[in-house]
Amino acid sequence: MRLFMMAAVIIISAASLAPAATERAAMMRMLGDMEFLNLFAGQERVSTMCIGRSVLGQNIPLVIIRNPDVPVESTSRIFIICRQHGNEPASTEAMLQLIRYFFSNPKSSDVDLLRQVTFIIVPMMNPDGAMRHKRRNANNADLNRDWINQKQPETRAVTKAIKQWRPHLIIDSHELDEDNVQGDFIECLGRKSGVDPGIAAHTAEIRSLLISKLRTEGFIVRNCTVSDNRSPRLAHRYFPLTYGIPTLLIESRQSGRRFGSLDERARMHLVTAMTAARCLAGQSEIVKQEVADWWKHRTAAPLASRGGHNRTNTNNNGQPTSETKPSR
């Protein structure tokens, strides 16, 4: 409750400072959704917690969407990082829509999805940057270049959460700068990056499934592969190389030909998240059996050494009570 009351204050300030109309619109919608979240705090399917504070002391929220009757350990866990860069609003917008959907009136098939998949979402990793509509945090640091050094409180908070929740897939959601006219793309590490070949293969497989789905939804999305071992300080390179977690970088474009409105860009991130979850659950109409089998195998690894039912292994917010080692 307190977290979102504070967030609401933050967003009011942000709305008056953000220069772009779309940003203001996103912030105002976010204010509305934060108030809505506040009303439903404690609702079992959606829970929230604070995982740390930004340089300026703002809360960094974490939102869990899950089936409270199913042990988290037995589900595939998808961890979504939004807004490392404060001037890229679409992923935050998308995840607020996702959160709102799941605690309002989701379809029965999506309720069933939560028997197999847990969403773990950082909807706003860089609140200080977002408040000023700037890429960097209040220390003028690019958070997506800080994953190795961990000098910023925001990267430390998210790394700690990832180590605790041990996700099977990380999605790092971004938008291309307003002066960047590249098209939308999804990127992951290839074999030549030094990542485990099995992880490279399965990350590429799920990327191809996401792109296929996005194309059927009308998006023009390229696939990109990192074929060298440079810049492991970026999240989608750091987590596969350091912790063996398949990670995808999602980029939607904010300018140039064929760029979409904020709603349309958010829809890309929303479709990506839901499709990835269905792939992990083996529920997607486009999922391939070998991918489903691989995720099933990954899911077999215990979240914590104790095992058992989720309610006995988590605190009141559904968070694991002890930090666990990464999967490799």
| 88 versus 187: smaller Cβ distance to Zn ion | 88
Judged by CB under 5 A, the number of residues near Zn ion is: 3
Q: By C-alpha distance, which of 271, 73, 298 is closest to 202?
A: 298
Closest distance of CB 83 from Zn ion, Å: 9
Answer for the pair 213, 284: CB distance below 8 angstroms, yes or no. Answer: yes
| 84 versus 314: smaller Cβ distance to Zn ion | 84
Closest-approach residue to Zn ion (CB): 174
Closest distance of CB 127 from Zn ion, Å: 15
| 187 versus 205: smaller Cβ distance to Zn ion | 187
Closest distance of CB 84 from Zn ion, Å: 6
| 85 versus 166: smaller Cβ distance to Zn ion | 85
In this chain, which stretch among 82-90, 109-117, 160-168, 262-270 interacts with Zn ion, using CB under 5 A? 82-90
Closest distance of CB 172 from Zn ion, Å: 9
209-238 residues in contact with Zn ion (CB under 5 A) are none
| 85 versus 168: smaller Cβ distance to Zn ion | 85
CA dihedral 89, 91, 93, 99 (to 10 degrees): -150
Exactly one of 29, 66, 77, 85 binds Zn ion (CB under 5 A); which one?
Answer: 85
| 72 versus 249: smaller Cβ distance to Zn ion | 249
Q: By C-alpha distance, which of 160, 279, 211, 99 is closest to 91?
A: 99
Closest distance of CB 70 from Zn ion, Å: 33
* Assigned token pair, 224: 């990109």
Closest distance of CB 129 from Zn ion, Å: 10
159-198 residues in contact with Zn ion (CB under 5 A) are 174
Closest distance of CB 68 from Zn ion, Å: 33
| 88 versus 184: smaller Cβ distance to Zn ion | 88
| 102 versus 147: smaller Cβ distance to Zn ion | 147
242-301 residues in contact with Zn ion (CB under 5 A) are none
One symbol per residue from 56 to 75: x for binding Zn ion (CB under 5 A), - otherwise; what is it?
--------------------
Would you count residue 133 as binding Zn ion (CB under 5 A)? no
In this chain, which stretch among 77-85, 106-114, 163-171, 215-223 interacts with Zn ion, using CB under 5 A? 77-85
Secondary structure of the chain as H, E, C letters: CHHHHHHHHHHHHHHHHCCCHHHHHHHHHHHHHHHHHHHCCCCCCEEEEEEEECCCCCEEEEEEECCCCCCHHHCEEEEEEECCCCCCCHHHHHHHHHHHHHHHCCCHHHHHHCCCEEEEEECCCCHHHHHHCCCCCCCCCCHHHCCCCCCCHHHHHHHHHHHHHCCCEEEEEEECCCCCCCCEEEEEECHHHCCCHHHHHHHHHHHHHHHHHHHHCCCCEEEEEECCCCCCCCHHHHHHHHHCCCEEEEEECCCCCCCCCHHHHHHHHHHHHHHHHHHHHCCCCCCCHHHHHHHHHHHCCCCCCCCCCHHHHECCCCCECCCCCCCC
Closest distance of CB 85 from Zn ion, Å: 4
Which residues contribute to the site for Zn ion (CB under 5 A)?
85, 88, 174
